[in-house]
Amino acid sequence: MKNIYAIIPISQFKNAKTRLSPFLSIDEREELLKAMLKDVVGALKKHIENILIISYDDEVIDYANSLGVETLKENENSNLNLGITQAMEYLKNKTKKVIIMPSDIPLINKTNLKSLIAQSNQQNFIIVPSRGGGTNTLIIKPLAIEMCFGDYSFFKHLKNANENGLNPIIYDSFFISLDVNITEDLGEILLHGEGSNTKRYLQTLNIKVESIHGAERLKVSR
């Protein structure tokens, strides 16, 4: 039995990240998603031998196979939480812990992922919040709690952990908390993502970022 297995759930590449649609075309958003996934997989591969990507989209499955990771076809008419649960059912007899991580956190390589994974040997529940109250990483025993990914999932997962006596450990990380959803997030990648596939791709689009003092911290343009 493996000590830890990574699970990356992905819905689709096409017509995703619609909040970026005023700034990036459909094809550009698809290439952005592929670059981010490549960064996440690359970072995990340095510390985790086994990575599973679950998706119902054949294009995602094909691209994941090209990255040299294991894939699982998601059940039809599923959703994010059911998909992750399906992945944990698949892995429950193969691994002691799972690390559930989204595909859109391309700065992950900047954090101390080795330390985070090492903590999982002693802790049964580690959670990394996103900036908006969501969950950007969860390390648990398979099926330890009900999955609540979505709005304010960080607080829901904490509640579930406490109700199950799991003593949740909160791991704060600016780099993992940054999931890409809006144009300002692209600016953060350009500022902090040196060496990442995502930054290199954004640079090919001639996207620029500058610091401003207003409602938004960064101005992103092209």
Give pTM, 2 decimals: 0.95
Angle ∠(17,35,209) on CA atoms, nearest 5: 70
Residues near 89 by Cβ (< 8 Å), separated by ≥ 6? 142, 143
Residues near 99 by Cβ (< 8 Å), separated by ≥ 6? 4, 5, 6, 7, 44, 48, 117, 120, 137, 138, 139
List, for residues 180-198, the tens digit of each pLDDT value.
Answer: 999 999 999 999 999 999 9
Segment 79-84 mean pLDDT: 96
Residue 215 has pLDDT above 80, yes or no: no
Is 158:168 a contact under the CB 8 Å cutoff?
yes
How deeply is 155 buried, as exposed, middle or buried, from its count of CB atoms within 10 A (0-12, 13-18, 19+)? middle
Residue 216 has pLDDT above 90, yes or no: no
Residue 214 has pLDDT above 80, yes or no: no
The amino acid occupying position 141 is: K
The amino acid occupying position 101 is: M
Tell me the domain boundaries of the chain: 2-179
Is 152:134 a contact under the CB 8 Å cutoff?
yes
List, for residues 110-160, the tens digit of each pLDDT value.
Answer: 999 999 999 998 999 999 999 989 999 999 999 999 999 999 999 999 999
CATH number of 2-179: 3.90.550.10
